[in-house]
Amino acid sequence: MGDLDILKEEIDFYFEQFYLIKKNMDTIDHNGDLELVWNLIRNGDGLKSLMKQASLDQKEEEVRKLMKVVPVIGGNVSFTSTYAVMSFILHELFLLTNRLFPLVDKSINIKCFSTASEMKSERNRSENVRNLQIQTKSIDL
């Protein structure tokens, strides 16, 4: 079960990095199906199902190759399943993010942050600027 915990942490990390919150998900998908699916993956049995499917999709020769390398990388047999699931999830999150950014703001600047606190600080600053712009527009009317 350690792999599932690591995957959940990684998924939560990327959701935070890509700012995939309910409000933004609603912008992409108005009927809420997207949020339900990701909620199942993040908090339900969806991740277990993805891991089981990835394990079933493994070919015997892939497992044999991995068994030669596993002691070197310190993993276990489920490494290939974990890798396959994480690769799939990152691809899907990338697609979601690409759908979100064109809808938000064409002038978005992508920055790299070294810590989560830097990222949260920048997010709070940009939200404050956005709120100030909204307040200014309402005063101008």
Q: What is the pLDDT of residues 82-124, one digit of tens each?
A: 888 888 899 998 888 888 876 545 554 555 555 666 667 777 7
pLDDT exceeds 70 at position 135: no
- Whole-number pLDDT of residue 24: 82
pLDDT bucket at 55, cuts 50 / 70 / 90 = confident
- Whole-number pLDDT of residue 70: 60
How many Cβ atoms from other residues are within 10 Å of residue 50's Cβ? 19
pLDDT bucket at 34, cuts 50 / 70 / 90 = confident
How many Cβ atoms from other residues are within 10 Å of residue 39's Cβ? 14
* Pair of tokens at residue 32: 């809420």
pLDDT bucket at 127, cuts 50 / 70 / 90 = confident
How far is 16 from 120, CA to CA, in rounded Å?
A: 9
pLDDT exceeds 80 at position 136: no
Q: Give the mean pLDDT of the chain.
A: 75
Asked whether the beta carbons of 97 and 18 are under 8 A apart, the reply is: yes
- Whole-number pLDDT of residue 100: 81
